[in-house]
Amino acid sequence: MLIIGGAGFIGVNAAHSFAAQGWRVSLFDNLSRHGAQSNLDWLRQRHNVGFAKGDIRDREALDKIFAERPYDAVLHLAAQVAVTTSVVNPREDFEINAMGTLNVLEAARQHCPQASLLFASTNKVYGKLEELQVVERSGRYAYAEQENGVSETQSLDFHSPYGCSKGAADQYVVDYSRIYGMNGTAFRQSCIYGPRQFGVEDQGWLAWFAIAALLDKKLTIYGDGKQVRDVLHVGDLIRAYALVIEQPDKARGQAFNIGGGPRHTLSLLDLIALLEQRLGRKIAPGFGDWRAGDQKVYVSDISKLEQMLGWTPQIDVAQGVGRLIEWVKENRALFA
Ligand SMILES: NC(=O)c1ccc[n+]([C@@H]2O[C@H](COP(=O)([O-])OP(=O)(O)OC[C@H]3O[C@@H](n4cnc5c(N)ncnc54)[C@H](O)[C@@H]3O)[C@@H](O)[C@H]2O)c1
């Protein structure tokens, strides 16, 4: 298995899990993300994994790692991950997320066209979803009608350079399966959280809140804090990755929404309350203006994945956030 972006949060958790199951795992990563080196060191203390430092914009470097052996599975997780950064530097965002993904697809087409190729897409491909009516219930926002959340039948509507670059990549992955008969699958991921997530204010909000609360860093809520997201523990995500690899006939050419779904949601204020309960003290966040394009609600309809691949989230939010808090507590030095 080759994991591109393998030293990131999801990548290192995936590598740990698959290596423990006996997979021979290689990673490719340019280590640009803060925490990536620490993740790699942590992984290497536990497993004998291959690693090549390289950038997905560099076709020769990709060609070299793909030529090493005929991989059965490729997880493509490398990305410029923040909407805010994409607005500041849209060209770089495009080159990494859109062009970089094309480079990965072309390398896979040449070297391992029958490998399962799983692309980490995003719920941002559906845009702001302004047509979905939102109501307030018990101090948090909710969809007035879409009780099951947003399904894959929702029109694509790319907002922000990040939405455009990831959305283009998502469509390339789906189309390469159609046109070249490859085994590509796009996972339109909602908020994923868990250990080894070096969350910052701009990306990985759940981990960021936990880190900021535990280390007494300044914590700002943009908007009123009643905004709701479905959240999924990385362990549940990786079980779904494994199911895609096990069932290529069902997963080929598909895009799936994946997140905690309607049963695993959190508002920002819910998370503050959960953290207060776990830490046994009050947290006093600041409040700022709503961020441009921020949705009041996003909840994934995960029924397609549940029905087609037999997957369902198993880690409940309180338990999962508890595990994240433990990891932050045990690794304070990483965030100082
Ligand atoms: N974490 C989430 O909540 C979430 C939600 C939706 C989608 N995603 C997607 O999942 C994937 C993984 O996310 P993550 O949270 O693990 O992010 P991450 O930033 O922790 O991991 C990404 C990894 O890619 C590497 N990378 C970045 N640019 C690269 C380049 N040009 N060449 C090679 N390596 C490069 C980084 O060093 C990092 O190790 C990303 O594609 C992201 O867009 C994540």
Domain map (residue ranges) of the chain? 2-335
Instruction: Give the pLDDT confidence of 88-134 residue by residue, as tens digits.
Output: 999 999 999 999 999 999 999 999 999 999 999 999 999 999 999 99
The atom number, within ligand 1, closest to the CA of 189 reads 6
Instruction: Give the pLDDT confidence of 178-199 residue by residue, as tens digits.
Output: 999 999 999 999 999 999 999 9
Structure confidence at residue 292 (pLDDT): 80
Structure confidence at residue 286 (pLDDT): 96
> Is position 71 annotated as part of the catalytic site?
no
The CATH classification number of 2-335 equals 3.40.50.720
CA of 120 to the centre of ligand 1 (A): 8
* Secondary structure (DSSP) of 263-277: TSEEEHHHHHHHHHH
Q: What integer best gives the mean pLDDT of the chain?
A: 97
The atom number, within ligand 1, closest to the CA of 36 reads 39
Is residue 233 in contact with ligand 1, taking CB distance under 6 Å? no
Angstrom distance (rounded) from CA 297 to CA 294: 9
Is residue 6 in contact with ligand 1, taking CB distance under 6 Å? no
Structure confidence at residue 293 (pLDDT): 77
Is residue 12 in contact with ligand 1, taking CB distance under 6 Å? no
Instruction: Give the pLDDT confidence of 256-310 residue by residue, as tens digits.
Output: 999 999 999 999 999 999 999 999 999 999 999 998 878 999 999 999 999 999 9
Q: What percent of the chain has pLDDT over 70?
A: 100
Contacts 24+ apart (CB under 8 A), 290-296: 290/222, 290/223, 291/222, 291/223, 293/83, 293/128, 293/159, 293/160, 294/222, 294/223, 294/227, 295/128, 295/129, 295/227, 296/134, 296/141, 296/226, 296/227, 296/228
- Rounded (10°) CA dihedral 175, 179, 180, 184: 20
Beta strands in the chain (DSSP E): 2-4, 26-29, 50-53, 73-76, 116-122, 134-137, 140-143, 183-189, 191-193, 220-222, 228-233, 254-258, 265-267, 286-288, 297-298
Is residue 200 in contact with ligand 1, taking CB distance under 6 Å? no
CA of 146 to the centre of ligand 1 (A): 29
Angstrom distance (rounded) from CA 41 to CA 92: 28
Catalytic residue among 126, 162, 176, 298: 162
Q: What is the residue with the minimal CA distance to atom 38 of ligand 1?
A: 8
Structure confidence at residue 335 (pLDDT): 87
Angstrom distance (rounded) from CA 277 to CA 181: 51
CA of 160 to the centre of ligand 1 (A): 17
Is residue 59 in contact with ligand 1, taking CB distance under 6 Å? no
Q: Which of 31, 33, 117 to mutate to test the pocket of ligand 1 (most atoms within 8 A of CB)?
A: 33
Going by pLDDT thresholds of 50, 70 and 90, the confidence category of residue 202 is: confident
Is residue 79 in contact with ligand 1, taking CB distance under 6 Å? yes
Q: Which of 34, 60, 77, 264 to mutate to test the pocket of ligand 1 (most atoms within 8 A of CB)?
A: 77
CA of 84 to the centre of ligand 1 (A): 15
Q: Which of 3, 10, 187 to mutate to test the pocket of ligand 1 (most atoms within 8 A of CB)?
A: 10
Is residue 295 in contact with ligand 1, taking CB distance under 6 Å? no
Instruction: Give the pLDDT confidence of 53-87 residue by residue, as tens digits.
Output: 999 999 999 999 999 999 999 999 999 999 999 99
Q: Is it the case that residue 336 has pLDDT exceeding 90?
A: no
Instruction: Give the pLDDT confidence of 303-330 residue by residue, as tens digits.
Output: 999 999 999 999 999 999 999 999 999 9
